[in-house]
Amino acid sequence: MKYLLLAGALLAANATAAITVRDDDGSLVTLQKPAQRVISMAPHVTELLFAAGGGDKVVGAVNYSDYPEAAKKIPRIGDNRDIDMERVIAMKPDLIVVWRHGSSERQIEQLRKLGIPLFHSEPKKLDNIADNLTAMGQLLGTEAVANAAAQDLRSKLASLRAQYGARPPVTVFYQVWDKPLYTLNGEHIVSDALKACGGVNIFADQKTTAPVVSIEAVLQADPEAVFATAEKDYGGVNLWRPYGMLKATRNSNLFTIDGNLLNRAGPRMIAGTAVLCEKLEEARKHRK
């Protein structure tokens, strides 16, 4: 009888055991039970929460949280510059998943004062996307779905690295915007995607994560390929067509890609990396 009582006590203890994970800021996040009401503070976070099996637990999200389709129906709490704190409080979240950026510190500090657990999501490497999935699965109580999704991403990424990682290197200029001319440094996750494909970021050594560079600096580095995204009111790779002396222009390696696949550190970034790899392989075939 005492063994049955002991087993029952152990089961009860496990049922109420706290959940603790470490976020991308290095902080420990503890919940007394799986989160049921979650607010997403970034589009990539929304994608991660859905992929982790917690889409039905997301009660609020920022603007541009438009994937998957069901995410479009989630009530908005503002954007990455300004959130409606009263609406956040009214939603009674038991977990808020945040993302740090230039204008977010004040908002995050306000959220922290509410006493609601915060999980900081900011994958710096492609592998960290799968890590985020498993952590969110723990916090949401959806480990089975999250772990399966994470394993699928890891498998696809391993295949890409095996196929392209050792291919002859291709120097790349990754253009975020043209007015001013923004790029990304080696610390950004896009550089990790390039590395997986055998690409080399020509501005990897810049200290700023998203530095402004000059046309002259790009011409001097003479990248073999240029990547830009297709956005409204954005010229993209057309900026480089008049520069016939640029190797990327001369070899027809001016590539346009879907920014949603590479500029968001969510599960779709592995698919974006696959496109990146295919384009870089195309650039290798254009060598003269």
Homologous superfamily (CATH) of 2-151 is Nitrogenase molybdenum iron protein domain (3.40.50.1980)
State residue 9's pLDDT score: 47
State residue 281's pLDDT score: 98
* Contacting residues for 93 by C-beta, under 8 A, at least 6 apart: 37, 38, 39, 59, 60, 116
State residue 13's pLDDT score: 47
Tell me the C-alpha distance between 57 and 66, whole Å. 16
The first and second tokens of residue 71, run together, are 């995410």
Task: Check if 2-151 and 166-285 are the same fold.
Answer: yes
Q: For the chain, which residues make up each domain, given as ranges?
A: 2-151, 166-285
Residue 95, SS3 per DSSP:
strand
State residue 288's pLDDT score: 75
State residue 22's pLDDT score: 96
State residue 83's pLDDT score: 87
Alpha-carbon dihedral 85, 91, 96, 100, rounded to 10 degrees: -30
Tell me the C-alpha distance between 213 and 200, whole Å. 17
State residue 16's pLDDT score: 60
Per the CB < 8 A criterion, the answer to whether 221 and 202 are in contact is yes
User: What CATH number has the domain spanning 166-285?
Assistant: 3.40.50.1980
Q: What is the mean pLDDT, run by run of 10 residues, along the chain of 288 residues? A: 50 68 95 97 96 98 95 92 89 94 71 90 96 98 98 98 97 95 96 98 96 98 95 86 97 95 94 98 94
Tell me the C-alpha distance between 264 and 80, whole Å. 14
State residue 159's pLDDT score: 98
